[in-house]
Amino acid sequence: MQSAFATLGGGTTQISVEYRIRRPDGSTRWILERGFHVRDAAGRVVQLVGVAKDITTRKQMDQALLESQALYRSLVTQLPIGIFEKDLAGRYVLVNPAFCKFKGLPAERFLGKTPQEVGASAEAKNDTTDRATKYAAAGEDHHQQILRTGKPIEVEEEYVLPDG
């Protein structure tokens, strides 16, 4: 059960509660109840006004989404090809282990950063093969092209993978 209480102007308390009920047939339903207290001139609660809504479908959809996201992340993590996702600002929000191996940098050096920021990092500057800086500008160009056209592009890069 999840509950929330908020005090509104004039001392009114708003109540929001989610809970699960088991019906006689064994099925489960989720209910959201919202309401507020009505007070008299002396500030005493004299009435509770509220509504209840069956949110079972929403809860099922939330659970299905969580399961789908977990499956997606599991698949992306296990794939032997490099995969990444960026937000609209061009910052990496997901990189899989194969991508990190190809680039020669750990995930922490990508997440939340643009290709230029990755290329400017101390690790990239110390990289004698110059992998990160070499592809930083190209990565930004590719990102902008995809955003502009809405179409996927194929990119070919050459890497010498470290042993292991």
Type and span of the H or E element at 116: helix 115-119
| 2-54: CATH, from 3.40.50.300, 2.10.70.100, 3.20.20.70, 3.40.190.10 | 2.10.70.100
- In angstroms, the CA 164 to CA 158 distance is 18
Question: Hey, how many other C-beta atoms are within 10 angstroms of the C-beta on 22?
Answer: 9
The DSSP bridge pattern shows strands 2-7 and 92-95 to be unpaired
- Predicted TM-score (pTM) of the model is 0.58
Residue ranges of domains in the chain: 2-54, 80-149
* Structure confidence by residue, pLDDT tens digits, 60-104: 999 999 999 999 999 999 999 989 999 988 899 999 999 999 888
| Cβ-contact 5, 11 below 8 angstroms | no
